[in-house]
């Protein structure tokens, strides 16, 4: 009987972990760009409970990119449509970022009450977005390292999956003249030739 009880307990525990599997996705606004274009990479978290625990209260993440292909431009904290989900009450949050060649570190700590985070925070949202400039041709990979994440009370949250992404950078192509323009140019040349022949025959 004890073995059955232990087995059932382990199964229930396993289901509870699966129900709250936290993942982080790197999402780009373009899958392919040209040199000189701008690119936005959003870092989104999912798997939190919508308006319930666990919620996110603090995070420390490293964002990695190929600095041979991309140049850092700016940071946008929070979700563009849902607002900053670590600043639900308007108290602000402690935000810090540092950068080096090919990586950016992001730290944010919410000043919201734990009960407010658990009650009002969405289960999926954008933590921050990184705006980059493209500077060379190639395929660039974007990855993330989760140094630490904490819930509304500061207890550790475990990330089950981090989904990376990549973007191809191409050169600026010079458009070829269309066949319609070539045909029009040919007709104009014929008309000009006929006009000159008509004048010379007089």
- Give Cβ neighbours of residue 1 (< 8 Å, ≥ 6 apart): none
pLDDT at position 17 is 41
* CA nearest neighbour of 83 among 74, 92, 73: 92
> Is residue 150 a contact partner of residue 93, using CB atoms and an 8 Å limit?
no
Residue 17 CA neighbour count, 13 Å, CB half: 11
Give the integer Cα–Cα distance in Å for 9 and 152.
26
b/e burial code for range 3-15 (CB count within 10 A of at least 16 → b): eeeeeeeeeeeee
Top pLDDT among 9 and 102 is at 102
Lowest pLDDT segment from 7-21, 25-39, 50-64: 7-21
Peptide bond into 141 cis (omega under 30): no
pLDDT band at 29 (very low <50, low <70, confident <90, very high): very high
Give the tens place of pLDDT for each residue, 64-119: 999 999 999 999 999 999 999 999 999 999 999 999 899 999 999 999 999 999 99
Give the integer Cα–Cα distance in Å for 133 and 169.
11
> Is residue 163 a contact partner of residue 26, using CB atoms and an 8 Å limit?
yes
- What's the chain's average pLDDT? 86
Q: What is the pTM of this model?
A: 0.76
Rounded mean pLDDT of 43-70? 97
Give the integer Cα–Cα distance in Å for 56 and 93.
12
Give the integer Cα–Cα distance in Å for 54 and 157.
8
- Give Cβ neighbours of residue 97 (< 8 Å, ≥ 6 apart): 75, 104, 105, 106, 107
Give the tens place of pLDDT for each residue, 142-181: 999 999 999 999 999 999 999 999 999 998 654 555 555 6
Give the integer Cα–Cα distance in Å for 142 and 51.
30
pLDDT at position 94 is 98
Rounded mean pLDDT of 20-47? 95
Percent over 90 (pLDDT), the chain = 73
Give alpha helix (H) positions in the chain: 2-19, 114-120, 179-201
């Amino acid at each position: 009987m004890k073995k059955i009880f232990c087995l059932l307990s382990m199964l229930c525990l396993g289901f509870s972990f699966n129900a709250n599997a936290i993942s982080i996705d790197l999402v780009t606004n373009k899958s392919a760009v040209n040199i000189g274009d701008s690119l936005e990479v959003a870092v989104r978290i999912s798997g939190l409970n919508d308006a319930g625990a666990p919620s996110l209260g603090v995070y420390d993440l490293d964002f990695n990119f190929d600095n041979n292909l991309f140049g850092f431009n700016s940071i946008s904290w929070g979700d563009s449509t849902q607002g900053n989900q670590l600043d639900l009450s308007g108290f602000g949050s402690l935000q810090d970022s540092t950068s080096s060649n090919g990586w950016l570190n992001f730290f944010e700590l919410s000043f919201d009450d734990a009960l407010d985070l658990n009650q009002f925070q969405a289960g999926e949202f954008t933590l921050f977005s990184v705006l980059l400039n493209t500077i060379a041709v190639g395929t660039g990979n974007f990855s993330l390292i989760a140094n630490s994440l904490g819930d509304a009370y500061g207890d550790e949250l475990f990330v089950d999956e981090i989904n990376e992404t990549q973007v191809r950078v191409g050169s600026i192509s010079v458009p070829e003249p269309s066949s319609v323009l070539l045909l029009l140019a040919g007709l104009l040349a014929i008309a000009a030739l006929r006009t000159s022949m008509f004048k010379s025959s007089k």
